Structure 1
Amino acid sequence: MPAPFTTLSDFRNMLVQMPGSEAVAIAQATTRNGQLTKPPGALGRLEDLAIWYAGWRGDPRPVIAAPQVIIFAGNHGVCAQGVSAFPAEVTAQMVANFEHGGAAINQLAKAMGARMDVHALSLDRPTQDFTQGPAMTEAELLSALNIGWNAVDPQADLLVTGEMGIGNTTSAAALAAALFGGTGADWAGRGTGVDDAGLARKVAAVDAGLALHAPADPLAALRCLGGRELAAMAGAMAAARYHRIPVILDGFICTAAAAVLDRLQPGALDHAVAGHLSVEGAHQRLLDALGKVPLLSLGLRLGEGSGAALAIGVLQSAVACHSGMASFAEAGVSDA
């Protein structure tokens, strides 16, 4: 179905009217959790995850049967500042790898039983170098938000968004700094593995972008400093909220895109959990700003939605235990 917004103002207003979690399902899931054949709280955070998931799906005994992984790819003009260890051509090469099933995310999505889709956004037309001008026009930002929105299958019951885009850790660092304050040194990390000189160029690029634009609101920050794939991820996560599909956030870049929604409307990410803690730069700081505690910490820094895809298994396990376990009465086990 077409996205229910045609302007950036529409997008802002839509976030205010998004559905919330269903209180009745939460209450019923909580009651069920207290009747399962285990000591209270014995499954720790898995119990909270299952109840959270039940609330968003409106089902006190849910199942996860149709997870979706979507990878968005975009190219960045800021690469002209020497901020990446790899050339921009790698973006298109990796998209081809995704499409042929050869990347890590392909294997992880398959292992988790997830549908995987790939959307390349104008790879032959990088965003403008944000140290020289706004990364995107309003029309380009709206197009990317729409692509993200329309990429979500309304029948999915869990969403992971991933990205590919040489230079996008620089864009994400600039976006995080615009949203939460600080300088390039606070937010820029080594990304694809840049050396000290490369990191210094990233820091300088972020600071130059912040000085040039001083964006007044989160969507302006996304337009001026972000990228098409970041905007598409934000659009997809907004669509997931609209369809009451829970979201697992990936690493630093995905979380920076998600933060735009949070800054636009408090609570806009209540339908999302953090899949993992990346070793990229300031991911922990970004998660702290959003109040998200990661499910996994495995030293990952690949992107592609890989850490979030791994976390699908954690959420599947939580829901399987909650919905599949017997109650004390069903099992004939004393709960005294």
Structure 2
Amino acid sequence: MSKYINRRQFLIYGGTAVGTSLLLKACNGNSPTASNTNNAYKIAIALPGPITDKTWNESGYKGIQLAKQKLGAEVTHLEKVSQPDQTEVLSDFARRNYNLVFAHGGQFDAAIQQVAPQFPQTFFVGVNGAVSGANFGSLRIEHLQASYLCGIIAALMTKNNKIAYIGGQKFAATQEEFRGLELGAKSIKPEIQVTSTFTGDWNDVAKAKEATLALISTGADVIYQWLDNASATVLKTANERGIYAFGNTNDQLDIAPKAVLTSAVKRIDLAIAYLAELGKQNLLKGEVYRIGLEKAEILTLGKFSNTVPANIKEQVLDIKSAIIANKISFKECQEKGEDTICVN
């Protein structure tokens, strides 16, 4: 079951999300730190990478700092949590009586399902997850909607009719995002080639560069990436090789202005702060909370490069409006005997 969130409820966070939360001191190293507010609602977050990545992990950290500011919550975070350590980290937060624990990435889904039943007094949220149960749920940005728009841009900008997707790991959210890119591109050019590759590491710069160069060598001239600390490497490599790319999570146009066409901007911090408020009010349910383009303060496209012609920009923004108005939607379907998502 999915829950869509009222736009007005999010707007209260927009004005203060940037600035004060960034000035709050981060912990050094990979040990958890927390404020010391007596009897406060307690929130923790486990992060797969460093909070200095300027993308995914930083947004998660900013989210709980915003919850601290808005709710007077006691917060802690642990960064660079590896896959083998996930269950112990989540269990440790619960043993320390944290009321709400965020696991920041779909790669935590299995760990949440294993740990949550053992700690019924703690509620767990998988950010970008696909799981739900008695005391756990997921927060999902509708990545597919933004990547669909980027796929349209890619198809209109490619010269080789070959575009590609680079992700950190393959799970539900990244698969949906890749599918959106494919659907968008093929809505313009049905014959276009759309390929994907996963580096296995969201932060490994060397793997990101290797994957980018490998895709370029196959003729791909537009690359959509979803990485964390390694995202800038993909964009800069695209810039050096004279091809196009897309930013992700933050507006990344400034990283490689000649390469980045636009970005899929995802304000995960605002979404986390909202779910934290629901948690404090004891209103969180075992659901997948989905947020799409209709919440422009959460999911939108970033600044467009001057390289993108005005008519293409106008076309894409019209399609964006059609998605928001539900004139274009997406549904589960089968293609070539496999479950997937199609344009409705």
Give TM-score scaled by structure 1 length. Answer: 0.26
Higher strand share: 2
Higher helix share: 1
Higher RCO, 1 vs 2 (CA within 8 Å, ≥6 residues apart): 1
